[in-house]
Structure 1
């Protein structure tokens, strides 16, 4: 469909305003993308303070920490396995895969615990 009125000619002033607007838009887009897609350390590391709501005592020894992690992983493995028994199809496979990942992490923590305190 043809327009009945042609576009007005672009003046140098209008072109300058358009260029400035595009530059500002690009800068805003870059800031937004950097904020949402940049690595978290760029924006949050400066102001990051760890929460003290759930804090592990700083003087805890490595063996105790590994033993607690091992027990937590064992509990998570059992809970995931029990949960998977009530599922069918792909959801069951996903739950069993999660359980296997937890079990592998538990094995790694057990090995680290053995390395810290050999029997």
Structure 2
């Protein structure tokens, strides 16, 4: 009876071929380790540099807390009015979303007002 699939070849490898294969595997592992070290633990020259903030819109460092809170309160009041006006032109879910944003702004404004009262109770 003839077989459609031939028998696999007899393993004729010798010890030198096995040593060569082991050396190739070792070289591959070392290359993989170097690649992973390069991408996952980069050397210092490739490390990201610390971010330096832009000084274009810098708040003066000598401003007192009362002035900062007053400015934040005015900004939040303006944002609340803008979102209220914007919500007046919308309908449906978009209007509800904008009104929710306005409510969050109003809560932040109340918190800033309370902090401002704590700084200067008069």
Question: Is this a same-fold pair by TM over 0.5?
Answer: yes
Distance 1:94 1:21 in 2: 54
Name structure 2 gaps, 5 residues minimum.
1-8, 10-17
Post-superposition shift, 1:53? 0.7
Post-superposition shift, 1:67? 0.7
Which residue is 1:113 aligned to?
A: 116
Q: How many residue pairs get matched?
A: 100
Structure-1-length-normalised TM-score = 0.69
Match of 2:73 among 70, 73, 77: 70
Name structure 1 gaps, 5 residues minimum.
1-5, 33-41
Match of 1:49 among 52, 62, 77: 52
Instruction: State the 4+ residue runs in structure 1 displaced beyond 6 angstroms.
Output: none
Structure-2-length-normalised TM-score = 0.67
Root-mean-square deviation (CA, aligned residues, Å) is: 2.5
Distance 2:41 2:93 in 1: 40
Larger Rg: 2
CA 1:13–1:90 in structure 2 vs 1: closer, same or farther (change >3 Å)? farther
